[in-house]
Chains A and B, each alone.
Chain A
Amino acid sequence: MTSRERIIKALNLQETDRVPLILWLGVHAASVAGISLRDLIFDRRKSEWAWKYSMMYYGGPDMIYGSDIADIPVWLLLTSGSGLCPRTLTPGVDGYPENAPIQILEEPPLMEPEDYDLIIERGIDGLDELVAKKCEKKTVQVGSRKVTMPFETAWIEKEFKTWVPTVQEFERQDVPVQGSAIFVPTDILALARSLRGLVTDLYRRPDKVKRACDRIAQDLVVDALDYSRWLNLQDQSQPRLVDIIPERSSPIYFGPKIFEWAVLPYMKQIGRKLTDLGYSVKWHCDSDWTPGLSYLLEVAEFLPKGKCYFAFAGETDMMKVKKTLGDHVCVSGDVPASLLKLGTPKEVKRYCQKLIRAWSEGGFILANGCEIPLDAKPENVKAMVDVAKSTALRK
């Protein structure tokens, strides 16, 4: 069974020869290959080498994240709304240590309450203009949008051209590539207003937030298509995946009342538009979604069967996930970053086996929760890969 067949079967809740595996290597590739995080971000040649070396070291996964190969710069280029992260602590830049983790400064907010009208009128373009005004940073043309980048970008577009064929090489080997990524509207607003600012707006001016979300949702679908086309992946065989990130929009943040008007309708709307256009959706469910699993079921049932999966990141109760979503939609996850750093191979193995056993009839992809941290123990990541590749699934 090829990786592509395995992934497609998992999405359709069908039996596979073994559990499919996804590794989001991200920054961890730097530590495996022994290069600095700074080089992983800024040195295209070293970055690609580090990524290929890490793949070889661990063994290839069944699907790759398109941004993985050059990590952050390409992730920024492929993610709608990333222009809202211009104040980023970047390894090796402005005295920030070259192996320290990338972090986004969100206070003070880039957007004030009175700026909602600009978004209602002009959408993400309006936000990008605001950011460009407030931060003296370089902008880069991404599809039809001019995006503000957190660091020097002159080289990115040129390097990006060399990156596309590398990605397509995987597609040719029947390893599907997840292309573009978008946030949900409330995540975009949380980036622009800060989460604290957005929360106060949800209580103080819900009408404005709603109208801004309506406008942003339209732009996000356009961006997802735009970015995917940029990768030239649109003609590849299935699944053509778009990553949708409701990272800070789970009911654990907003509670059911707010979630039902500020998040859920847009998850359905954006998901439906993309699936109608032949894309599949990965829902990147960072944070704890345990109180919102019934909503995820609602989203899954609103979309065509086999056209989406939910990726959990180590905080959601996976046994409750199995109970609520197990018979309806594919799920991936969720080996926690802290377990990969603090645990032992035995503990990682036990954790993975528990997940695989719970989904023994299929519909599950073993993956790390969100991104593997820079300081994860390689023997722990190896344990995870070994379990996936050595455990046959049985009906």
Chain B
Amino acid sequence: MSSLRDSLADLDEEAVLSRVREDLSRRRPAVEILDELREGMTIVGRKFDRNEYFLSALMMSAEIFKSAAKLLEPEISRVHQREALGKVVIGTVEGDIHDLGKNIVVAFLESAGFKVYDLGVDVSPGKFISKVKETKPEILGLSCLLTPGFESMEATIRKLSEAGLRKRLKVIIGGAAGAVVTSDWVDRLGADAFARDSGEGVRLAKTFVKALKKRN
């Protein structure tokens, strides 16, 4: 019988959910189950990096992870509070309702141990700013598919600076609109980095959080 980790890595939904139920009934600590699920998601991410898996596999793994995590509630929220690697506020910028890539990144950030505040789509600069003030995250993720989204990104980042919120906050931009985004454009928008996919997004978030913690 495959391990929980391998079942998730193989996208075997039925096996994952029955294994989680079984583990819970045997009183296996939720934190252990969650860790194993996270390992499974890490393998999925690696397979994506190696072109063994594609977007549908990322989406399906996110679905399975969400269903399994639901079974672990309310334990899982306590675990998250205690062990969060860092905090991320994320959303699709104002004027754009596309969220396919953003939702995949959210699932992978959560499975990597981040506490994620997903503001959804068509998020105004004001909404981003008030959530950043409220939650004090290390990372802000801005996504867009449509080209007018660049103005919304620029406005959001500018208003964050005006509100004095940029010192301890790294801004990662992402989304298909960035087909020609170069470091030049990251600078011009005032962001810190552009993530081409969910794996790069998680890696950047981890690196930035580590650097911020080291700085303190």
Q: Using a CB–CB distance below 8 Å, which chain A residues touch chain B?
A: 89, 100-101, 103, 105, 195-196, 199-200, 202-204, 251-255, 258, 287, 291, 314-315, 336-339, 341-343, 369, 373-376
Contact = CB atoms under 8 A, between A and B. Distances in A.
Contacts of A101: 95, 146, 148
A338 B178 contact: yes
A350 B176 CA distance: 22
Contacts of B181: 338
A339 B103 CA distance: 26
Contacts of B55: 252-254
Q: Which 6 interchain pairs have the tightest Cβ spacing?
A: A255-B54, A341-B147, A336-B179, A373-B147, A199-B56, A339-B180
Counting chain B CB atoms within 10 Å of each CB, the highest count among A89, A195, A255 belongs to A255
Nearest to A254: B56
A199 B54 CA distance: 11
Contact of B57 (A103, A255, A314): A255
B54 A203 contact: no
Contacts, number: 80
Nearest to B188: A342
Interface of B: 11, 13, 51, 53-57, 59-60, 63, 95-98, 100, 103, 146-148, 150, 176-181, 185
A110 B169 CA distance: 39
Given A101-B95, A196-B59, A337 B54 contact: no
Contact of B180 (A253, A258, A291, A336): A336
Contacts of A199: 56, 59-60, 63
A120 B178 CA distance: 39
Contacts of A103: 96-98, 146
Nearest to B12: A203
Contacts of A196: 59, 63, 100, 103
Nearest to B184: A342
Contacts of A342: 147, 150, 180, 185
A315 to B, nearest CB: 6
Contacts of A89: 97
- Which residue, of B60, B146, B178, B181, has the highest number of chain A Cβ atoms within 10 A? B146
A254 B54 CA distance: 6
